[in-house]
Amino acid sequence: MYKNQLCAGWPVVALCSALLFTACTSSEKKTGATQTALTAVAKPRQVALEDFFKQPERSRYRISPDGKMLCYMAPWKNRQNIYVMPVGSTDSATRITSETERNYSSYDWASPDRIVFEKDFGGDENFHIFSVKSDGSQLKDLTPFKGVRAGIVNDLRDDDAHLLISMNKRNPEEFDVYKLNINDGKLTLVAQNPGSAENWMIDHEGNVRGCLQSDGVNQTMLFRDGASGPFRKLYTINFKDQVAFAGFTPDNKNIYVTSNRGRDKTAVFEFDTKTAKEGKLIYENPDVDVTSVSYSEEDKKLISVGYETDKMHEEFLDPAYAQTDKDIKAKTGADTYVTKSSDKAERKMIVQTYDDVSGGTIYLYDRDTKTATKLADRTPWIKREEMAAMKPIEYTSRDGMVIHGYLTLPVGVEPKNLPVIINPHGGPWARDGWGFNPEIQFLANRGYAVLQMNFRGSTGYGRKFWEASFKQWGLAMQDDITDGVEWLKKEGIADPNRIAIYGASYGGYATLAGVTFTPDLYACGVDYVGVSNMFTFMKTIPPYWKPFLGMMYEMAGDPVKDSALFAKVSPALHVDQIKCPLFVAQGKNDPRVNIEESNQIVDNLKKRGVSVEYMVKDNEGHGFSNQENQFDFYRAMETFLGKHMGPSATPAKKETACIPPARVQSKSDGCRA
């Protein structure tokens, strides 16, 4: 099957993930002050909150390996369940699961008549792998081990009875590779983890040929020439040098990699496993990293590479697929799309178009007949003309770095003196991208301008930009966010008295840092599963993150060696500086950001008599998955924002001017996990 692989380099710990669509599109010019001319556009109606966040009627289509069947997700009793139908059918779908507790995290066909899916329990992220026949029979938990996390490594395209999976059953901190029988759940150990290894390399025959091993700071590529035997060391490099596996060459001897070794921007190379060096340069972009590689398992070759500037772009390496790309665009009328699934022969493909003002449309594309059959609109109730454009912007930080981002302005309103939501992303070593974002559209529909910025450390902009974030939580990373606020004020877009900050995970940390270390800048804040105390955060990470603690210590700080830094940038230790109202939301079972991170900031604020609202969901983890909990959260956030800075709010006048670009706070510097 056709596969699109994200290039992550070494496994950097991510506190929050978000859906970033890939696309093929032309670049748009970015401007300093967004010159959005107001034409005769009427202010839209207030769209129901549920319309932004309710589950799609049909989504996540997948096609079976033989190209004869489709499966998709659709709501049943408020949960996404799996439906199956023949290709070409319009109304004969059969629901084959009856999930009522929690949506499935991922799923796909494992054979022509069996589907596998992953599910955790209450957001604990200890995923189990299940299988079910396409008629709904023989539903089975294949990894029924309490407290164990499993994930699919390879679908073994030539073996309909097995998958390769990783599982930390033997050691909570390490994942071994097993061959899993999808019919009866029988497990066979294929490769025992040699110690702190991830990123397993599987060749065209389904053999485990290599992995990346870490001592916490340095990474070693281990490799073997055949299906068995000991691994040999190819190289050892510091984690800042990122070499990521992207597939085997057709002869199974060498591999393709993305690498930033000896360079600033990640590029695609053929890697010589004998010399342990990057060989032929296949593709590079002078301005940004290569972020994805598409690979044909049928033809055993690279198809395309992806990179992201203001939007995602795809550069095709294969002429046949380049022609397919042109035809898909012509048949769908869309400039941007992502391939979601294909049959084994790679002749039939599920593609999903997208843009910034709709959830997109899903098509079945046939490469032989060159036809695109519409399967579903993801959000047919959304009216494009009522949604707001997401405009790429850039501004310069106080120390001269160019910060890219996106500004979404409410429709039909003059972009002047607006209430603004500052929305830093999670990760923090991730990035925001262009596309339809229900949160952003919801806020814009309620009259708020929304600024998202890819502060230093955001991925895709090269090694120097990434490394500039090291040990800068609450410092230069936060300054980049503050500088975005100052840019909006200078441009006359933001009302200085009506600026809020909202973020999830690292964005939650940035929210707390913002209201703590720049207390006169924000009217209020919304912290969603955010870190509040660097010391306690480092103590409560999941066991499978522990092998990478050394890397975390270099990137975020060491609680012992950098104790002064941690004390300085932990909002929970400086609640005496917080002036504005705060809303905190947390999942009780969060394995990444423990609930105590939220408890301590809330408890400390209440002791001081500061207004703080607190929402805890007992059946959630790192972010809310269940629809009713999402509705509760966004209703509460809408009310909170409206009360403290919405059009009807009358915020208290600031006692002092906002903090200027120089750091002048007495206890800590700066103004997301």
Q: Which contiguous run of DSSP H or E holds residue 208?
A: strand 208-214
Distance CA 382, CA 568 (A): 45
Q: Other C-beta atoms within 10 Å of 262: how many?
A: 7
Coil/strand/helix, residue 261:
coil
Among candidate residues 404, 425, 622, 644, the one labeled active-site is 622
Euclidean distance between CA atoms 627 and 78, whole angstroms? 7
What DSSP string describes 554-614? HHT--TTTTHHHHHHH-GGGGGGG--S-EEEEEETT-SSS-HHHHHHHHHHHHHHT--EEE
DSSP string covering 146-179: TT--EEEEE--TT-TTEEEEEEEEEETTEEEEEE
**CA dihedral of 328, 330, 331, 335, whole degrees rounded to 10:** 60
427 near 421, Cβ under 8 Å?
A: no
The one catalytic residue among 111, 341, 505, 598:
505
Residue showing tokens 């036809």: 371
Confirm whether 162 is a catalytic residue.
no
Phi then psi for residue 656, to 5 deg, are: -135, 165
Residue 277: half-sphere exposure toward Cβ, Cα within 13 Å: 4
- Cα dihedral across residues 374, 377, 380, 382: positive or negative: negative
Q: Which two tokens stand for residue 93?
A: 């779908």
Among the listed residues 120, 325, 355, 590, the single catalytic one is 590
590 is catalytic: yes
Q: Confirm if 595 and 616 have CB atoms less than 8 A apart.
A: yes
Indicate if 358 belongs to the active site. Answer: no
Which residues are annotated as catalytic? 505, 590, 622
